[in-house]
Every structure is written in C-alpha cells, then in structure tokens.
Homo-oligomer: A and B are copies of this chain.
C-alpha cells in the first residue's frame, strides 16, 4: 500500500515476514521478540508466520540461512575475502543493511550454528589473506600463524559486537562515515607500527613460554609496563594452589 523505493511491500508474505524477523531479532534479540510483533510488522497474522516457517525457531533458522547465503556468495572473481567485502558494503549503507549487521552480530554472540559457519569462514578468509601477505613480504611472519589469524579476526569483530559501547563513546553510530573515519588511523597505526616501541615484553613472554622460568621473580605480572590488553598473562609454568 506504500509506494516506497523498497520493494518490500509487494514482496511475498513469507519474505516480508523473514525480513521483519531479521530486523526485530537483530535489534532486540530472539527472546525479546514475539511472533506477534513480527507478524504485525509484516502485516500478517501470527498464524501465517507459523504456517510458513513451522515455528519461531524455524523462522530463526530461515533468517540465519538468508544471512549466511547473502554473506557467503562470492562477490567477484577475486579470491579476496567475500564476507569482509560484503560487510563493508553493508556498513556503507546502514539505512538499508543496518538490520543485517545487527542480526549478524547477534548470530555471532549467540553462537548459533549459522554464526559458527560465518565465523569459520571469516577466519579462513582472514588466515588466507595473511598467508598471502606473509608470502609476498607485506606482512610479518608469526610464531603461531593460525592463532594470530584468530586473534585478528576477533579484533575485527570487536567493534561490531560492542557497537553500542563504541557508539556511546564516539557519539555517533558505528555505521556512520564519521565512525569509520575515526577508527581507521588508530587501527592502521597499530597494525603498522604496533604499540610497544621495543620488544622487551614480547621477548619476556617468549622466554617465559619457552624455558621454565620457575627461578627468579615469582610475581604474576612480568609484562613490564603492562599489557593494555585484558588477556591473561603469559602463564607461569607453576600455578600455586590455594
């Protein structure tokens, strides 16, 4: 009944339901969303939702599948990361794809099966890209390439999962050009020069992990000025019982 540019209005009801569900699930989460809400958004009766998708859980599965298939389609002939590329396109048009971004984030956080698949795929793409970078000399090698790929993937996802906190601190939504502008330099600085000016902390961790530094300082934190990261210290080989 509305002649908006979005062809959602004359889409088939099942599609309308699914899109409405993605919006609601992404914004308020699966549990906080009722079938009746989704039905109202889609302009149908609650019974039709069940008729088309079997159950609320079935609807969630359909949403997952829709997102996975959209994110996993190979965009171009390049073997470049498909998911990251699609995500960037989404971030560029938040008014249109913002719901997908939210839903993607909740999928990852909830550990749904589709979220697992997407994470694995992103991890694989990230690892492949880094491997290429190492091969052609543009990136440093690592003592543990697989784990480094995992950590870098996690880092890339963090602004997405904590987008509310980020938006609060920034004062603008994460899906804004201003946020992107602001985030770019610090990240590239970190990925180019690192944070520390020397390798003292890294060397200390290497020594702690390689040898058995049970002798010497029994103190917990041997990271020098301290790791800004909240991750645990390099483990001491001995853990004292209480």
Contacts and interface: CB of A to CB of B under 8 A. Distances in A.
Interface in A96-121: 96, 108-109, 111, 115-116, 119-120
Given A151-B183, A192-B196, A205-B184, A159 B231 contact: yes
Contact of A140 (B84, B120, B129, B194): B194
A194 B197 contact: no
Copies in the complex: 2
Most B CB contacts (10 A, CB to CB) among A111, A168, A227 go to A227
Main secondary structure of the interface of A (DSSP, over half): helix
A151 to B, nearest CB: 5
Interface residues of A, number: 101
Interface in A76-90: 80-81, 83-84, 87-88
A129 B196 contact: no
Nearest to A96: B242
A164 interface: yes
